[in-house]
Amino acid sequence: MNTSGAAKWQRGAKRPPVVAVVTLAAAALTAIIVVLRQEWLSKSEIDVLAKALAGLGIVVAAGWAVVTYATNKRLEFQKSFNDRQLEIVLLTAQAVGDLLASQEGDWDSAKARFWELYWGRLVLFEDKPIVNAMIALGNDLSSTSFKERIRLQSKVYNVSLALRNFLKERNAEDWKISFADIKEAQSRRTAGGDANLKL
């Protein structure tokens, strides 16, 4: 979905109000008709034309109001979705970091947070690099004890890097909404050896 035009408009690029443009155009046409009235049109024809132009102005104004309302609702939804997406990406970065930084008593809860994001919320919009990095980390995590957690360091870094690149890409694309192919992501996880992982 291309929202760059709407996003630019939302950020403050000015567009002339359609109602004002239509009103000015109707007034100009009415003035021209009045000038030409004496030669080509009767008074009743001018009145009909003026009413038609006024009606057209009302229709255009109503149409503009509907389009503006729909655009604003879409932008509100998009902002809400993007905020949620950013929140989950940051939660994932924190969860993978906690795998290395947590104390022994918090190790099991850090692993549980990772698996919740792995199988749950992150699946909604992860891309292939995130999927691959999460699979690699998940495969190693399932056979790693607290005392061996340092060997996860490169895998944790790869997940964090994939998340950073994901955010960088979304920012460069003006946060366009795109859903990853969830079935493809799930099949890649299963094919990656996840069927034997213990949750």
Q: What is the pLDDT of residues 6-50, one digit of tens each?
A: 444 444 445 556 667 767 777 777 766 666 555 566 677 767 777
Over range 152-171, report the average pLDDT. 90
Q: Tell me the pTM.
A: 0.58
Q: Sorting pLDDT into bands at 50, 70 and 90, what band is 1?
A: very low
Which of the pair, 173 or 156, is modelled with greater confidence? 156
Averaged pLDDT, 148-167: 92
Contact status, residue 168 vs residue 106, Cβ threshold 8 Å: no
Whether pLDDT at 157 is above 90: yes
Higher pLDDT, 24 or 141: 141
Arithmetic mean of pLDDT over the chain: 76
Q: Which residues contact 135 (CB under 8 A, 6 or more apart)?
A: 188, 189, 192, 193, 194
- Split at pLDDT 50, 70, 90, the class of 114 is very high
